[in-house]
Structure 1
Amino acid sequence: MNLILKILFLLLVYSVSFSQNSNKIHFKNISVKEGLSFPAINCILQDKNGFMWVGTEVGLNKYNSQRFNTFYNNPADSTSISNDNISSLFQDSRQNIWVGTLTGLNIYNHKNSSFRKFQEKALNTKKIVAIAGNIGSKVWALTHEELVCINQKFNIEQQLKLNSLSTETGLTAWSAAKFDKKGNLWLSTNKGVRLFDPKAKKLTNPLNDQINITITTVDFYSNIYFDSIGNLWVGLRGNGVKYYSFIEKKWTFIDGISSKYINGIYEDGDKNIWICTGRNGLNIYNPKTHKVEIIKYAEMPESNLMSNSISCIYGDSKGGIWLGTFNSGLLYYYQHQLKFNLYYSKGQISGISSNYITSFANDKRNNVWIGVGEEGLLYFDRQKRSFKKVNPNVKKFKTVAELKENFYILSLHLSKDEKHLFVGTLTGLFDYDIVSNKWYFYQNNRFVSGHLQGGYINSMVSDGL
């Protein structure tokens, strides 16, 4: 093996993008070919161990970023999940995974990867449309007709029918439940957002929210979401999205979104609100400018938004954003992912004379000295995004050919004061005095005291003196 490992580098000068512009968003698609059980997604959850749980219309999936472990109903196995159609997911304060299905509620047993089915009639025959819990040990499950409270021993503590909680005319359906930071339970109904009063066992309307959705089917979509400053966001099928400010004590509708059929709301790390629609793509609302960016697959294929029919949205603990779709599986976006700019040799356009990159030295301004093997030395100005060829001026070498023969760069080292750039080559060491723009060459001569004892300068390090 040669002393010099000839490794071909493509120069990647990276920049981290924190902008939320739609033209910088690119999703990774994760679907059936990666092992997902079915491309229609109903719900997403990340557990405390970092695993992603994905509920589809055909199977529950546990994802470790490499592969899926899938769970199905098996009529012959009493420990299997109650139904393949997963409607809701929740993890409680004791790290139990609660799984709502089309026909009942389940709890996942981590030790043996099995499920405990609830046998009570209220929880084993009906669709679980939502599951909610707060810091305490109680969990609330929502069916289309009832609100069911389950205690720490997994026993039903309360079973409240919708018509017993409210006498409000026309209030006939609910489909979302969410606790706020104060421990209040909010419910989204076809008449608006209602607060559950646990003492009186009644629904109240403290936000004076009045809408009128005529329910022709119990499967209407609605969402409740609390942002980082405590605003309550609501999305309803056919009625768009709005939020309530507890500080200003008023509702505000968001105009300019692509569709009024809302399936998900989420606040990203830049405080932008993502609004997912079931028919017309993704909307990103900027609360500072009050502008909405719309992302649709047909109009913006570079985003890799594989479907405009988005069913749900979820933000993980590392800042990743997951979208579920009705027909294309999962879409994943990491907000602070590294974005690379690629520079390569293509004549005079890029300024790089070769793709054979042997060494780098970075200065305090983040500009880069680049060794390009036999093609010499380049200086990259990051702000201008331009390359400059730096030619050594050493009187010892009489011709360009002689200089090139001795200026095959193997390594670079920039002094701490950034006044000297040391260039290691096949035949010796060059010292470039950057301030005076002068070059010095130290040639190998192992027979002379004080000279370099070898010609191959593969690496250099400063001793701090």
Structure 2
Amino acid sequence: MKYLHVLTFMAMVIFGTACNGSVEKELPKEKSSESNILPDEYPKLLRTIGHPRFGSINCGLQDKEGNLWFGTTSEGLYKYDGKSFRQFLIADGLNSNDVTSIMEDKEGNIWIGGEAGFCFFDGKTFSKISIPLPKNLPPNDNPPYSKSKWVFDIMQVKSGKIWFATIDGVFIYDGKSFTHFIVNEGAPGYVSTNNNVERMLEDKEGNIWLGGRTNTGVYRYDGKSLVHVIIEELRPIHYDPDRLNYDWAWPQLQDKNGNIWFSNWGGAYRYDGKSYTSFSEKDGLSGIVTRIIEDTRGNLWFGGDGISHFDGKSFTRFTTKDGLIDQGVWSILEDKAGNLWIGTRETGLYLYDGKTFINYTEEYKR
């Protein structure tokens, strides 16, 4: 049963010193991007290699230069400069066409995590890096993923160190070497016995929050000790009525008021430093919550089974009637102009300008 849930998730979404065995490849000229520009009112993200009914836009960011980046399942990485989309694949230097996480560091390098581990992009070339695993690390005995190097989340903390949540556990990179950070040792794990963390968050006080689907609650690391925090169980109303309540949590963000937000398949939690308040479908959420962001006006947006907006008092749901055709949301990004970019199943990309949802994904073509 555990493997069944793993396969379902991957169908939906889805290291030593610096560069051990690093491979660099000069990128081809931008000729490929022009072939993805279609004569339409808006430029379109064009799916080229995956199946039209499989895959998601899993993550996104806006870099210091204003470019938008989107990581996908099977379609690689897309860069949007405001005029056109360019697709990067293994042939362009990526180590995998399955991208689950993306982060820009303080120097402007783009770190990309996915099925084959991670690499980083310095603006010219992709560099592939491997994490050297501890000799005493138990082998991954989950057959579908025994050879995978999945990276689920990448985060640079205030000290400049980079944290990686991977299929082999959590690792910290200080610019020279990797340190294995053990969380919930001996737990069953998700896609491997070593994988107990999928999402991470650093709060304003410097605490590191870590969460994954095989844990109860979340873990908080204050720089000295790791504390296990238990949270209230939530149960979705319509998603999986026969399943037990969900008591795990993904750390998502800390809002402007200092509250820390978490999510799972049953809804969301708000932690004010003293107590946890839960929110679910009965409060107006759409159900499953995969992503939470706060916009520049202080409003919160919840993605999962569609999109829900929270103004601090009540939730507003957006459905297909509002123009969001695919309700399976995995990624939400606010750009510097205040627009929301929403990534969904079937590699769907939508822009919400405050009034209208605009579809930026072209229909699949072979």
Counterpart code for 1:268 = D
Aligned equivalents of 1:311, 1:68: Cα separation in 2: 20
Q: Could you tell me whether the CA contact under 8 Å between 1:265 and 1:313 is conserved in 2?
A: yes
Answer yes or no: is 1:231 the counterpart of 2:248. Answer: no
Displacement of 1:306 in angstroms is 2.4
Higher strand share: 1
The separation in 2 between residues aligned to 1:321 and 1:175, in whole angstroms, is 24
Q: Could you list the per-position Cα deviations for residues 290-313 of structure 1 after superposition, in whole angstroms to 9, with x for gaps in the alignment?
A: 22211110xx2xx32121111111
The unaligned stretches of length 5 or more in structure 1 are: 1-27, 338-465
Residue 92 (str. 1) matches residue 78 (str. 2):
no
**Which residue in 1 is equivalent to 2:361?**
none
Which whole-Å CA distance do the structure 2 matches of 1:210 and 1:100 have between them?
31
Using the TM superposition, give the Cα deviation of residue 145 of structure 1 relative to its aligned residue in structure 2, in angstroms: 4.1
Which of 337, 340, 348 is 1:321 aligned to? 340
The 1-side partners of 2:291 and 2:251 are apart by 6
Contact conserved, 2:209 with 2:221, CA < 8 A, in 1?
yes
Amino acid at match of 1:272: N
Assess, with a 3 A threshold, how the Cα gap between structure 1 residues 50 and 322 changes in structure 2: closer, same or farther.
same
Aligned-partner SS, 1:129: strand
> For the Cα contact (< 8 Å) 2:112–2:119, is it kept in 1?
yes
2:292 is aligned to 265
**What's the TM-score once normalised by structure 2's chain length?**
0.68
Closer/same/farther in 2, CA of residues 139 and 283 from structure 1, 3 Å limit: same
Confirm whether residue 253 of structure 1 aligns to residue 253 of structure 2: no
The within-5 A match list for 1:444-459 is none
Partners of 1:125 and 1:83 in 2: CA distance: 11
- What CA distance in whole angstroms lies between the structure 1 residues aligned with 2:47 and 2:83? 9
Distance 2:194 2:127 in 1: 34
Aligned residue in 2 for 1:460: none
CA distance in 2, matches of 1:84, 1:47: 20
- Letter paired with 1:105: F
Inter-partner Cα distance in structure 2 for 1:29 and 1:264: 26
Q: Structure 2 vs 1, CA of residues 251 and 119 (structure 1 numbering), >3 Å: closer, same or farther?
A: closer
Whose relative contact order is higher, 1 or 2, with alpha carbons under 8 Å and at least 6 apart?
2
Query: Which of 59, 75, 79 lines up with 1:43 in the alignment?
Result: 59
The 5 Å alignment of 1:114-129 reads 114-118=126-130, 120-121=132-133, 125-129=148-152
2:283 partner SS: coil
Report the number of matched residues. 284
- Equivalent residue for 1:392? none
The equivalent of 1:69 in structure 2 is: 86
What is the TM-score with the length of structure 1 in the denominator?
0.54
Cα distance in 1 for residues equivalent to 2:328 and 2:42: 14
Partner of 1:312: 331
Closer/same/farther in 2, CA of residues 198 and 30 from structure 1, 3 Å limit? farther
Give the Å deviation of 1:64: 0.3
CA contact (8 A) 1:188 1:224 kept: no
Matched, 1:291 2:314: yes
Q: Which one of 180, 189, 205 corresponds to residue 159 of structure 1?
A: 180
Q: Name stretches of at least 5 consecutive residues in structure 2 with no aligned partner.
A: 1-40, 135-146, 236-242, 357-366
Deviates more, 1:29-38 or 1:328-337: 29-38
SS of 1:106 mapped into structure 2:
strand
Q: Is the 8 A contact 1:36 1:68 kept in 2?
A: no
Matched, 1:204 2:225: no
- Cα 1:221–1:312 change in 2 (3 A) is farther
Q: Report how far residue 88 of structure 1 moved.
A: 0.3
- Structure 1 match to 2:269: 242
The AA in structure 1 aligned to 2:166 is T
CA RMSD of aligned residues (A): 3.5
> Does structure 2 conserve the Cα–Cα contact (< 8 Å) formed by 1:93 and 1:136?
no
Compared CA separation, residues 307 and 266, structure 1 to 2 (3 A): same
CA contact (8 A) 2:218 2:250 kept: no
Q: Distance in 2 between matches of 1:268 and 1:253?
A: 19
Q: Which letter does structure 2 place at the counterpart of 1:98?
A: W
**Mapping of 1:184-223 within 5 angstroms?**
184-189=207-212, 190-200=215-225, 202-205=226-229, 208-211=230-233, 222-223=250-251
Q: Is the 8 A contact 2:57 2:348 kept in 1?
A: yes
Q: Distance in 1 between matches of 2:49 and 2:283?
A: 34
